[in-house]
Structure 1
Amino acid sequence: MTQVVVVGGGIAGLLTAVRLGERGHSVTLLEAQPQLGGMITSITVGDALVDAGAEAYAVRGGTVRALCDELGLAVAPPRGTSQLWWQHGSNPMATGVLGIPSSLDDPALEALSSDEYQLAAAEPQLDRAVGADSITLAELVRLRLGEAVLTKLVAPVTRGVYALSPEQMPLAEFAPQLLPKIAQTGSLIAAVAQLRGPGSAAVEQPVGGMFRLIEALRERFIAAGGTLHTNAAATRLERGASGITVCAADDLRFNANQLVLATAAQPAARLLATLGVELTPPPVRTIRSVILTAKKPEFAAHPIGSGAVVAEPDGVGAKAITHYSAKWSWAPEHVFRMTYPPHTRPTLEGAVGDLARLTGVPITAADITGFASLALESVPTRISPAERTAIREQASAAGVALVGAWLDGNGIAPAIAGVAQLLERDWVNSAPASAGDMPHTGSET
Structure 2
Amino acid sequence: MSGSDGGRLADSGASRGGDGSDRGVRSGADRDDRRVGEDVHASDDDVATGPELIVVGGGMAGLVAARRAALDGLRVTLLDAGDVTGGMLRAGRLGDTVIDIGAEAFATRGGAVERLLDELGLADDVVEPRRLGSWAHADGDAYRLPLAGLLGVPADPSSPEVLDALGADGARAAAADATLDAAVGLDATSLAELVRARMGDAVVARLVTPVARGVYSLDADVLDHRALAPGLGAALAETGTLAAAVQTVRAAAPPGAAIRGVRGGMHRVVRALDAELARLGVDVRTDARVDDIVATDDGWRVRLADGAELQAPRLLLTVPELAARVLDGTDDGDATAASRGAIADGDDAPSSPSAGAGVPLEEVDAIPPRRRDSTVPAEVVALLVRAPQLDAAPRGTGVLVGEPAGDVRAKALTHVSAKWPWLAASLPAGVHVLRLSYGPDEGSCVPRTRGLDVDELRALAVADASTLLGVELAADDVLALDRHEWRIPEPAARIGRGARLDELRAAATATPGLDIAGTWIDGTGLASVVPAAEHAARRLASTQSD
Shorter-normalised TM-score: what interval?
A: 0.7 to 0.9
Q: State the alpha-carbon separation in 1 of the partners of residues 408 and 305 from structure 2.
A: 43
Question: 1:380 touches 1:405 (CA, 8 Å); kept in 2?
Answer: no
Question: 2:313 touches 2:513 (CA, 8 Å); kept in 1?
Answer: no
Q: State the alpha-carbon separation in 2 of the partners of residues 5 and 141 from structure 1.
A: 45
Q: State the alpha-carbon separation in 1 of the partners of residues 152 and 488 from structure 2.
A: 26
Question: 1:279 touches 1:391 (CA, 8 Å); kept in 2?
Answer: no
Match for residue 101 of structure 2 among 52, 69, 83: 52
Q: State the alpha-carbon separation in 2 of the partners of residues 389 and 89 from structure 1.
A: 42
Moved more, 183-192 or 81-90: 183-192
Identify if the C-alpha distance between structure 1 residues 114 and 228 changes in structure 2 by more than 3 Å, giving closer, same or farther. same
Identify if the C-alpha distance between structure 1 residues 431 and 170 changes in structure 2 by more than 3 Å, giving closer, same or farther. closer
Q: State the alpha-carbon separation in 1 of the partners of residues 398 and 458 from structure 2.
A: 19
TM-fit CA distance, 1:216: 3.0
In the alignment, structure 1 residue 337 sits paired with structure 2 residue 337: no
Q: Which residue of 2 aligns with 1:439?
A: none
Count of aligned positions: 427
Question: 1:91 touches 1:108 (CA, 8 Å); kept in 2?
Answer: no
Name the TM-score, length of structure 2 as normaliser: 0.70
1:370-389 to structure 2, matched below 5 A, reads 370-382=480-492, 384-389=497-502
In the alignment, structure 1 residue 145 sits paired with structure 2 residue 196: no
Q: Which residue of 2 aligns with 1:297?
A: 388
Identify if the C-alpha distance between structure 1 residues 163 and 76 changes in structure 2 by more than 3 Å, giving closer, same or farther. same
Q: State the alpha-carbon separation in 1 of the partners of residues 105 and 187 from structure 2.
A: 32
In the alignment, structure 1 residue 391 sits paired with structure 2 residue 504: yes
SS in 1 for 2:70: helix
Q: State the alpha-carbon separation in 1 of the partners of residues 209 and 238 from structure 2.
A: 26
TM-fit CA distance, 1:269: 5.3
Q: Which residue of 2 aligns with 1:369?
A: 479
SS in 2 for 1:334: strand
In the alignment, structure 1 residue 405 sits paired with structure 2 residue 503: no
Q: Which residue of 1 aligns with 2:331?
A: 280
Match for residue 144 of structure 2 among 92, 103, 122: 92
Identify if the C-alpha distance between structure 1 residues 358 and 5 changes in structure 2 by more than 3 Å, giving closer, same or farther. same
Q: Which residue of 2 aligns with 1:101?
A: 154
Percent identity between the two aligned chains: 35
Q: Which residue of 1 aligns with 2:69?
A: 20
SS in 1 for 2:422: coil
Moved more, 363-372 or 103-112: 103-112
Name the TM-score, length of structure 1 as normaliser: 0.84
Q: State the alpha-carbon separation in 2 of the partners of residues 142 and 293 from structure 1.
A: 39
Cα deviation, 1:387-427, whole Å, max 9, x if unaligned, reads 224334556648543222222233223323532552464x5
Moved more, 370-379 or 144-153: 144-153
Question: 2:383 touches 2:479 (CA, 8 Å); kept in 1?
Answer: yes
In the alignment, structure 1 residue 328 sits paired with structure 2 residue 420: yes
Cα deviation, 1:233-291, whole Å, max 9, x if unaligned, reads 2333355553333333555443312121222x235556x49xxx621314222112211
Question: 2:69 touches 2:538 (CA, 8 Å); kept in 1?
Answer: no
Cα deviation, 1:204-231, whole Å, max 9, x if unaligned, reads 3233322233233333333334222223
Q: Which residue of 1 aligns with 2:19?
A: none
Q: State the alpha-carbon separation in 2 of the partners of residues 76 and 182 from structure 1.
A: 35
Q: State the alpha-carbon separation in 2 of the partners of residues 200 and 397 from structure 1.
A: 40
Q: State the alpha-carbon separation in 2 of the partners of residues 371 and 348 from structure 1.
A: 8
State the one-letter code of the partner of 2:206. K
TM-fit CA distance, 1:76: 3.1
Match for residue 542 of structure 2 among 416, 429, 434: 429
Identify if the C-alpha distance between structure 1 residues 299 and 29 changes in structure 2 by more than 3 Å, giving closer, same or farther. same
Q: Which residue of 2 aligns with 1:82?
A: 134
Match for residue 349 of structure 1 among 441, 459, 473: 459
TM-fit CA distance, 1:87: 4.7
Q: Which residue of 2 aligns with 1:440?
A: none
Q: State the alpha-carbon separation in 2 of the partners of residues 121 and 269 from structure 1.
A: 45
Moved more, 25-34 or 133-142: 133-142
Q: Which residue of 1 aligns with 2:39?
A: none
TM-fit CA distance, 1:348: 1.8
Q: Which residue of 1 aligns with 2:78?
A: 29
Identify if the C-alpha distance between structure 1 residues 289 and 415 changes in structure 2 by more than 3 Å, giving closer, same or farther. same
TM-fit CA distance, 1:70: 4.4
RMSD of the TM alignment (CA)?
A: 3.1
Q: State the alpha-carbon separation in 1 of the partners of residues 241 and 256 from structure 2.
A: 20
Match for residue 263 of structure 2 among 207, 210, 222: 207
Q: State the alpha-carbon separation in 2 of the partners of residues 228 and 43 from structure 1.
A: 23
Q: Which residue of 2 aligns with 1:436?
A: none
Q: State the alpha-carbon separation in 2 of the partners of residues 360 and 147 from structure 1.
A: 26
Question: 1:325 touches 1:336 (CA, 8 Å); kept in 2?
Answer: yes
State the one-letter code of the partner of 1:266. E
Q: Which residue of 1 aligns with 2:317?
A: 261
Provide structure 1 residue ranges, at least 5 long, that are not aligned to the other structure: 434-445
SS in 2 for 1:291: strand
Question: 1:196 touches 1:202 (CA, 8 Å); kept in 2?
Answer: no
Identify if the C-alpha distance between structure 1 residues 145 and 360 changes in structure 2 by more than 3 Å, giving closer, same or farther. closer
1:177-196 to structure 2, matched below 5 A, reads 177-196=231-250
Cα deviation, 1:28-84, whole Å, max 9, x if unaligned, reads 112222221112211112222111112223344444344444444343333222111
Match for residue 208 of structure 2 among 144, 154, 172: 154
Q: State the alpha-carbon separation in 1 of the partners of residues 57 and 461 from structure 2.
A: 33
Higher share of residues assigned strand: 1
Cα deviation, 1:128-164, whole Å, max 9, x if unaligned, reads 4443333221232223333332233222332343333
Q: State the alpha-carbon separation in 2 of the partners of residues 227 and 67 from structure 1.
A: 21
In the alignment, structure 1 residue 316 sits paired with structure 2 residue 316: no
Q: State the alpha-carbon separation in 2 of the partners of residues 110 and 362 from structure 1.
A: 24
Match for residue 88 of structure 2 among 39, 45, 70: 39
Q: Which residue of 2 aligns with 1:419?
A: 533
Identify if the C-alpha distance between structure 1 residues 361 and 146 changes in structure 2 by more than 3 Å, giving closer, same or farther. closer
State the one-letter code of the partner of 1:10. G
TM-fit CA distance, 1:91: 0.7
Provide structure 2 residue ranges, at least 5 long, that are not aligned to the other structure: 1-48, 334-373, 425-430, 441-446
SS in 2 for 1:416: helix
